[in-house]
Amino acid sequence: MANNRLSMRKITEALRLHYECGRTQREISRAIGVSPTTVGEYLRRAKAAGLGYPLPAELDESAVEQRLFPPPVPVDVVRAEPDWVMVHNELRKKSVTLELLWQEYKSDSPDGYRNSWFCEHYRLWAGKLSVSMRQTHTPGEKLFVDYAGQTMPVIDGGSGEIRQAQLFVAVLGASNYTFAEATWSQQLPDWIVSHVRCFEFMGSVTEILVPDNLKSGVKHPSYYDPELNPTYRDLAEHYGITVLPARSRKPKDKAKVEGGVLIVERWILARLRNQRFFSLVELNRAIADLLVDLNARAFKKLPGCRLSAFLEMDHPALRPLPQNRYQYAEWKMARVGIDYHVEVTGHYYSVPYPFSRQEVDVRYTETTVEAFHRGKRIAAHARSTHKGRHTTVDEHMTPAHQHVAGWSAKRLLDWAQGIGIQTHAVVEAMLGSRKHAQQSYRACLGVLRMAKTYGNARLEAACDRALRLNATN
C-alpha cells in the first residue's frame, strides 16, 4: 500500500509539473525520480482517462488509480481489431496523425480500444517491419539516391581487360519503388545522367531529393548549410526539386536507400554473379529485366508490391517531368583575361570589355558556353572544339577600344623593343595574326614574360628561330 501511495504521489506531482508549471518530461523525471519514459506513460494514461490538474475533488487516490490503471478488459468482451496496414498507409499522408486515426477507428467501433492501447500496439506492429518499411514517408515527397558498395565486372571484348562498373540506386520514400543502373564511375557526368534516367524511368519528379554526401553531388557537406555542386544545383533547378543531403554519420537519414541498396545487391547483383558481360549496355539490359521482377515481388509483411504501392501512393502525388530534357552542364569559375576572353577547355570566348580582369561563373554544355557575373548572364556562345582559338563577338571587343585594362598594342611593342629586335618582330607578327589585336595580348604577354625566366638573350635567340621557321605562335 505504501508503494502505491508513493506512486500516486509521483503521478500527481508529474501532472502538476506538466499542466501548471509547463515542465518537459525530462525535467519532470529528474524532479520526481523516475525515467522520462515513465513520465510519458503517466501523461498518456492521464490524457486517455480525461484527467488533468488539479485532479477532480471528488476523486480520491483509489478512484484516480482506477481511472489511470483500469482493470483488464474481460475476455468475453470482443473489440474490433484495427487494420494496421491501413493505419500504416494513412500515416504516410500529409497531416495525418495516430490521434486522428484512433478517433476515426473509435467512430466506427465505439467499443474499440483506448488511444493509449491503439498507439502502443501500432508501434509494436510497425516495429516488426524492416527499418525502411517502418518509416512513414509522404507519397511523392522524397527520392533517396546512392551508389551500391558492390561493383560489377565488365570485360572488354577486344583487350580482355576487366573494368568494374558502379551501381546507382534510387528508392522512393513511400512505396519503395526502386531504380538501378550501372555506370562506369561515380563522377559528376555519370551521377547527373543517372538522375535524369531515373526521373524518366519513374515518369515524374518528387519534391525532395536525398543524396548521400558524395562529392559529385555535395561540394561541402555541412550539418546546417551543405553546399551543392553547381551542376547538381543546376539539375535541381531544372526539375524544380529540393536537395536535402543526408547528414554525415546519421544513417537513419538514408535508411531507405541503404535498404534499397542491400535488396538490389541481393536480388540483382547476386543473381548476375555467374554471368559475363562485355559492355555496359549489355549489363544494364540484364539489370533492367531483374528490376522489373524486383519491383513486382510481393512484400513480406504488407500487401502488394513496390509497383502496386508506387501506382497507388507515389505516382498520383508526383509532379510531371519538365517539357525539355535536362542537358548536362558543368560550371567553373574563371577570371577574364586582359583580352576580354575566358578560357573553357582550351578555347577562348569573349565577354563585354568592362568585365576584363574580373571573376565570372561559366556554364558550359556540349553545345553552348555562357558567362555569368553575379548571377546575370553577360555572354553566350556556341561551343567550339578548336583549342587555342577564339570566339569573339564584335560588340564585346570593338576595334576602336584600343586599351585593355591598361594594356595596348603600343605598350606591348615597346616592351618587346626593350628586349630586342627579334622579340619585337615576333610580337608584331602575333598582334597582326588575329582579327582583333586584343586576342593576341594574352599570348604576347606569355612570350614577353619568358625574359624574366630565361633572360633577354635566350628569348631573342628563340624569337629569331621562330621567325626563320615562320612559327610565331
Q: How far apart are CA 67 and CA 48, in angstroms?
A: 9
Q: Which of 301, 371, 296, 285 is nearest to 336 (CA)?
A: 371
* CA-based nearest residue to 180, from 273, 263, 288, 279: 288
| Pairing relationship of beta strands 330-335 and 359-364 according to DSSP bridges | antiparallel
Over the stretch 380-406, which tens digit does the pLDDT of each residue have? 999 998 888 888 887 777 655 444 555
Q: Residues near 298 by Cβ (< 8 Å), separated by ≥ 6? A: 304, 305
DSSP 92-109: TSTT--HHHHHHHHHHH-
- Please report, for residues 3, 48, 76, 79, 111, the alpha-carbon distance to residue 70 in angstroms, rounded to integers and kept in the order given: 18, 11, 17, 16, 15
Q: What proportions of the chain, in percent to the nearest 5, are helix, strand and coil?
A: 45, 15, 40
Lowest mean pLDDT, pick from 32-41, 82-91, 200-209, 315-324 = 82-91
Q: Which of 162, 399, 391, 91 is nearest to 379 (CA)?
A: 391
- Interval 243-254 mean pLDDT: 66
117-170 confidence digits (pLDDT tens): 888 878 787 777 655 444 557 888 889 888 988 999 999 878 889 999 999 999
